[in-house]
Structures are given as C-alpha cells and as structure tokens.
Amino acid sequence: MNKFLSSILALIISCVFFTACKKQAPQLPSNKGVEIDNVNASLIKINQRLAAKEDLKLKQFAKTKGAFKKNETGFWYIIYKSGNGPLLRDSVSCKLSGQLMLLNGKTVEEDTKQLVIGKKEVIAGLEEGLKLMRKGDSATFIIPWYLGYGLIGRKPLVPPYTSIIYKIKVLN
C-alpha cells in the first residue's frame, strides 16, 4: 500500500507542478469593456450630411460658372492654359500667384508664394488641385469647406463652413 500512496502522491505533485507553471491570461479591467461611442457616430453622420448638402450646392454653383469638372476628392476645377513639363508632384517646389475668393465673388486675398507640394503648406483641396497642374498652367478651383478651412475658417478672411474659390497660376 505504501507504493500505491507514493504513486498517488507523486501524481498529485506532478499535476500541481505542471499547472502552477502555466501563465494566467491577462484580464481586462471591468471598466474597459467594449463601448459604442454614440457621440462620435452622431458627429460623423452630421458631418456626412453637411458635406452632402455642400456638394449639391457646389454642383449647382459650378454648372452656372462654366465647364467645371469634379475631382474624386470633392473639389471642382477648370484648367485654362496648359503649360509644359510634367505634372506637379510631391516634393516639387513651385511659385504660385493666386486669388482667394468667396462664392459671392468677393476677393479676400491676392498673393504670390513659393511652396513645396506635399508639405501641407496650403489647404488640402488646393494641394490636390495643384497636382493636376503643370508649370505655366492657370486654373480655377471651387473647394468645399471640408477640403478648405473647415469648421474653424480662416479669420478674418474666411468664415467657418465656407466654400471658397482659388484662381491660381503656376509661375515656375
């Protein structure tokens, strides 16, 4: 019987030894459960509705102003004069002359500036539009607020939620 007890005792010790070395899986704190962020979901839906409403408004505006094309990004454009050379791409330095206007036709800024494409030195809609141009090109861009100065605007020139027009010439 002594051998029997020794065998059982050895078996129990082996089981305890092998299970004790097993690392326990980490537990999530009780406050870290999966939550649905209703506020963010609501804000996303509101922004999508606002953007769709603005797109419809700009589509009607562009029809009255000429043969504008809509880019897949969401802005409208016309390139008037084709220059020469390759299209502007990221890391290319260029000099621009341009006018910033509101949709009512009021010019709020005229400027000439040197910039590097892809460095986010200008608003997203204009930067994407510049990639459709060559040196020497002139173009007009109608840029919705969500690709322009957004919900903050550019005080005091551009109010919040305001779509804009850029008339641009790539000088060199």
For the segment 41-53, the average pLDDT, to the nearest whole number, is 89
Q: How confident is the model at residue 95 (pLDDT cuts 50, 70, 90)?
A: very high
Average pLDDT taken over every residue of the chain: 85
Lowest mean pLDDT of 5-19, 48-62, 111-125, name the range: 5-19
Sheet strands side by side (includes 76-81): 69-70, 76-81, 138-143, 164-170, 93-102, 107-116
Residue 17 vs residues 7, 9, 11, 73, 164: alpha-carbon distances, Å: 15, 12, 10, 63, 73
The pLDDT tens digits for 103-159 are 999 999 999 999 999 899 999 999 999 999 998 899 999 999 999 999 899 999 999
The pLDDT tens digits for 57-73 are 999 998 888 889 999 98
For the segment 46-55, the average pLDDT, to the nearest whole number, is 89
Please check the confidence at residue 34 and state whether its pLDDT lies above 60: no
Please check the confidence at residue 75 and state whether its pLDDT lies above 60: yes
**C-alpha triplet 97, 68, 85: angle, nearest 5°:** 50
Q: What is the 3-state secondary structure (H, E, C) of 71-96?
A: CCCCCEEEEEECCECCCCCCCCEEEE
Provide the CATH topology of domain 50-170. Answer: Chitinase A; domain 3 (3.10.50)
Q: How confident is the model at residue 15 (pLDDT cuts 50, 70, 90)?
A: low
Please check the confidence at residue 1 and state whether its pLDDT lies above 60: no
| pLDDT score, position 33 | 57
Q: How confident is the model at residue 36 (pLDDT cuts 50, 70, 90)?
A: low
Please check the confidence at residue 85 and state whether its pLDDT lies above 90: no
Percent of the chain having pLDDT more than 70? 80
